[in-house]
């Protein structure tokens, strides 16, 4: 049944594009604003408003909204938020934390995850696990589409942390899995890739660089690259377009000190803790494998704000953990090492600090950055 449904939907899609061509006749209506000004307004609407309302306004808007140029432009105008699934909540709700007009906004995520995940997000596409099909699927909740991914079948394979990334060169999305083949006491690390909509089955990528630790590490996804920080000494980076894995040593002098990694969306950030309240920050330029030293983050002058919140909940000394970047590296979200449910958003530019509180169960979740977009795979 599901297949039939799927097929009939695709036919509807074709009908529409034919109708669009038929409709390509000159309109005599006087429209209020020139097309390019309407375009500039529509790209700033949330994806759901475009999909549920704007698309129904008239054919011209329908055509505009479905153009590649519009979808790309809308994606560039959308700001990602932190998508957090709360397993403690009885309705299985997820929360999205985003910045709007420089303020933190917590809102309920309209999509309810039925299976496992979200595992990984890229340009509005979410990788989740479909228990009924025993396979992964890609979902864009804003435009209500699922795409089922071929099952991953390997004997004795232990799979964890699927990720999705975009190859701009080929305009393709790829899903990447690290997995281990059980070999007595240890696992032999493997890497499998599936080009969405192209590959019918998973392809193994053979490279000597792989490390057993990759199986237990949640990778970080930057623009066109996937990174696995390993053994406190180097980072393995997969170029999604070329499917080549390279090994980048950490910047000199960074071998000691506690390290954290985050994706900025564009690059990979490395944080080295100097003191409880200060961090050294490095940026990895994925293509060249070069590290650039950024301004240190020093929260010493703000320590009372952290202490105020923390001491209400705990008496022990606290440790701050960089959790996610928001607003293209403008806002760094921290959490305490102990699960308090409190998160701080520190604006690197203005030095302003805001905080929000979630269920303590959210503390250990993956913090995926999700963008509401109209992007789809076909």
Partner 1 sequence: MAAETGTPTTLTLKSNDDELFSVAESAAILSVTIRNMVEDGCAGGVIPLDNVDGKTLASVITYMNGISAIPADEEKKKSYRDKFLSDKDFETLADMVLAANYLNMSCLMDAVSAKIAQVMEKKSVGWVRRKFGIENDYTPEEEAAVKEEHKWTFEGVETDDDN
Of the candidate spans 2-10, 158-166, 279-287, 313-321, the one that interacts with partner 1 by CB under 8 A turns out to be 2-10
In this chain, which of 17, 33, 307, 337 binds partner 1, going by CB under 8 A? 33
Applying CB under 8 A, does 182 fall inside the site for partner 1? no
The DSSP 8-state label assigned to residue 303 in this structure reads: H
Applying CB under 8 A, does 16 fall inside the site for partner 1? yes
CA distances from 305 to 302, 308, 331, 362 (A): 6, 5, 17, 22
Q: Which of 217, 251, 257, 219 has the alpha carbon at shortest distance from 234?
A: 251
Q: Looking at residues 313 to 352 of the shown chain, list those that interact with partner 1 (rule: CB under 8 A).
A: 350
Applying CB under 8 A, does 31 fall inside the site for partner 1? yes
Q: How many residues interact with partner 1 (rule CB under 8 A)?
A: 56
Quote the tokens at residue 37.
């000004």
DSSP 342-353: EEEEEETTT--E
Considering the complex, state which of residue 29 and residue 312 has its C-beta at the smaller distance from partner 1.
Answer: 29
In this chain, which of 47, 51, 142, 322 binds partner 1, going by CB under 8 A? 51
Considering the complex, state which of residue 101 and residue 315 has its C-beta at the smaller distance from partner 1.
Answer: 101
Dihedrals φ, ψ of 23, to 5°? -75, -5
Q: Is 141 helix (H, G, I), strand (E, B) or coil?
A: helix
3-class DSSP string for 113-134: CCCEEEEEEECCEEEEEECCCC
In this chain, which of 46, 249, 257, 289 binds partner 1, going by CB under 8 A? 46
In this chain, which of 54, 274, 348, 353 binds partner 1, going by CB under 8 A? 54
In this chain, which of 45, 106, 321, 361 binds partner 1, going by CB under 8 A? 45
Q: Are 254 and 282 in contact (CB under 8 A)?
A: yes
In this chain, which of 17, 35, 40, 337 binds partner 1, going by CB under 8 A? 40
3-class DSSP string for 56-103: HCCHHHHHHHCCHHHHHHHHHHCCCEEEEECCCCCCCCEEEEEEECCE
Task: Determine the Cα–Cα distance for residues 164 and 121; give it in Å rounded to an integer.
Answer: 6
Q: Looking at residues 90 to 149 of the shown chain, list those that interact with partner 1 (rule: CB under 8 A).
A: 101, 133, 135, 137-138, 144-149
Applying CB under 8 A, does 357 fall inside the site for partner 1? no
Applying CB under 8 A, does 29 fall inside the site for partner 1? yes
Applying CB under 8 A, does 34 fall inside the site for partner 1? yes
Q: Looking at residues 244 to 303 of the shown chain, list those that interact with partner 1 (rule: CB under 8 A).
A: none
Give the number of C-alpha atoms closer than 13 A to the C-alpha of residue 262, restricted to the C-beta side: 22
* CB-count burial class (<10 Å; 0-12, 13-18, 19+) for 117: buried
In this chain, which of 17, 27, 67, 314 binds partner 1, going by CB under 8 A? 27
Q: Using CB under 8 A, list all residues that contact partner 1.
A: 2-3, 5-6, 9-10, 12-13, 15-16, 19, 27, 29-34, 37-38, 40-42, 44-46, 49, 51-59, 61-62, 101, 133, 135, 137-138, 144-151, 197, 200, 350, 377-378
């Amino acid at each position: 049944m599901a297949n039939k449904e799927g097929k009939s939907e695709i036919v509807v899609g074709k009908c529409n594009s034919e109708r669009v061509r038929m409709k390509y006749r000159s309109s005599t209506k006087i429209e209020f604003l020139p097309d390019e000004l309407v375009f500039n307004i529509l790209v700033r609407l949330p994806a759901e408003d475009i999909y549920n309302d704007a698309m129904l306004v008239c054919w011209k808007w329908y055509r505009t909204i479905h153009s590649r140029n519009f979808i790309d432009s809308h994606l560039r105008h959308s700001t990602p938020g932190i998508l957090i699934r709360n397993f403690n909540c009885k309705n299985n709700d997820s929360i999205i934390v985003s910045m709007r007009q420089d303020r933190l906004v917590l809102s309920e995520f309209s999509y309810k995850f039925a299976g496992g995940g979200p595992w990984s997000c890229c340009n509005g596409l979410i990788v989740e696990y479909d228990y009924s099909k025993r396979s992964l699927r890609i979902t864009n909740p804003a435009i209500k589409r699922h795409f089922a991914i071929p099952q991953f079948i390997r004997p004795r394979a232990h799979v964890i942390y699927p990720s999705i990334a975009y190859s701009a060169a080929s305009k393709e999305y790829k899903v990447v899995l690290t997995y281990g083949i059980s070999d007595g006491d240890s696992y032999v690390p493997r890497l499998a890739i599936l080009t969405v909509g192209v590959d019918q089955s998973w392809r193994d990528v053979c490279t000597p660089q792989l490390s057993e630790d990759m199986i237990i590490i949640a990778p970080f996804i930057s623009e066109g690259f996937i990174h696995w920080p390993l053994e406190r000494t180097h980072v393995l980076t997969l170029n999604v377009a070329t499917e080549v894995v390279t090994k980048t040593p950490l910047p000199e002098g960074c071998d000691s000190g506690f390290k954290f990694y985050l994706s900025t969306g564009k690059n990979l950030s490395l944080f080295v803790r100097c003191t409880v309240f200060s961090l050294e920050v490095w940026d990895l330029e994925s293509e060249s494998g070069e590290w650039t030293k950024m301004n240190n983050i020093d929260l010493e002058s703000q320590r009372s704000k952290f202490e105020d919140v923390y001491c209400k909940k705990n008496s022990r000394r606290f440790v701050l953990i960089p959790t996610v970047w928001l607003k293209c590296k403008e806002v760094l979200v921290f959490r305490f090492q102990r699960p308090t449910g409190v998160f701080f958003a520190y604006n690197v530019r203005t030095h302003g600090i805001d905080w929000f509180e979630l269920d303590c169960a959210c503390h250990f979740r993956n913090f995926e950055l999700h963008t509401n977009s109209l992007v789809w795979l076909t």
